[in-house]
Homo-oligomer: A and B are copies of this chain.
């Protein structure tokens, strides 16, 4: 007999799970140069000023601004060139009144200089004299000590996802190692008496297990460590053993269940047998993805995802992905690639249900169109033909051809 679902909205489902989620908080230290995509585990303040000395922002002449006061094409200021600032060494020169030093971008300003005249605003008169044809303000074309970042200024806060430029910033200050949260481990269990591993030739009635690999790739892509625990038979004890192993070895357990009601109920029973509080949500007003299970046992989240490829992928992205970020200590979910596109066909739906339809994106005449790919959610290939997913909101009874929709690129 069909179990009566207590169906909740996707948002409500998340709100029921969320209070049970807490960051794993295990910290490890990695070289800053290899920290791309990792989550910073502590606030980092600048240990020193950057730059630590005044630098020229231009090629030109270091001067005392007052010496070029009022300079113009018609009435240039004449300055004596007392040397050239070599790169990478202290500017040995100090400027007296009326003196200038040739300087390159990034060079250290000599003592008493307070501005740089761009080379374009100078003319050579002889080997040791230049004309300055424009005045320069005090500090112009100079990067002051601490102008990039000041000592003790907050650089990056705990929970940031480390980007290429953040690595540059850390290294600029000599921070060559950073504490990051350990990667979140996600155990993936596939159930189904009909499943065989992909490398096996299925016999009549059997089908290759693919969800574990698609979901593992989704986890990997956002920096988690997938642990594929293989295929377990459709029986309570086998699934329970696999789930216990998942709880022991991973931070999140995902059971990609068979889609039949019996296996769904078994997944819920097994989860409830593991500990408290157990199943929090069993059934979400979502298409595809209705029979999704969200659960928590002893502080670890568990998910029972429907076995259909489309349902598994969409529910993973809706619930497991934010859970991975949360457990990984990531303060803010990175923005997904989302695009506005014009629907080419009606998408029927029902009010009170969030529908996801895979779409193909096409650019025609400079405009982006989303062509829905309809098909049973049991099918895998619509996901491959598609470029993304369009969402029909909960409160809409469908979307109309010609409407603009938000497409999450996948």
Residues of A participating in the B interface, judged by any CB pair closer than 8 Å: 1-2, 32-33, 36-37, 50-53, 55, 57, 59, 86-91, 104-108, 119-120, 143, 147-149, 155-156, 163-169, 171-174, 176, 192-195, 198-199, 201-211, 213-218, 220-221, 234, 258-263, 307, 309, 313, 335-339, 376, 378-381, 383-384, 409-410
Contacts and interface: CB of A to CB of B under 8 A. Distances in A.
A214 to B, nearest CB: 4
Given A90-B204, A216-B33, A336-B337, A168 B260 contact: no
Given A198-B176, A335-B339, A155 B384 contact: yes
Contacts of A234: 87
A105 B260 contact: yes
Contacts of A220: 36
Contacts of A259: 105-106
Contacts of A176: 198-199
Nearest to A201: B174
27 contacts: A32-B198, A50-B380, A50-B381, A52-B204, A53-B204, A59-B260, A59-B261, A87-B260, A89-B205, A90-B204, A106-B307, A107-B260, A108-B204, A147-B379, A148-B378, A164-B217, A164-B221, A165-B309, A165-B383, A167-B210, A168-B380, A169-B380, A172-B380, A173-B208, A176-B198, A335-B409, A337-B338
Contacts of A263: 104
Given A87-B193, A380-B148, A36 B167 contact: no
Contact of A169 (B107, B260, B378, B381): B381
Contacts of A2: 59, 119-120
Contacts of A337: 335-338
A195 B106 CA distance: 10
Nearest to A407: B335
Copies in the complex: 2
Nearest to A36: B217
Contact of A167 (B88, B104, B209, B217): B217
A150 B307 CA distance: 21
A291 to B, nearest CB: 10
Given A164-B313, A217-B167, A193 B143 contact: no
Which of A105, A155, A201, A215 has the most chain B CB atoms closer than 10 A to its own CB?
A105
Contacts of A171: 198, 208-210, 213
A194 B53 CA distance: 12
Contact of A307 (B32, B105, B313): B105
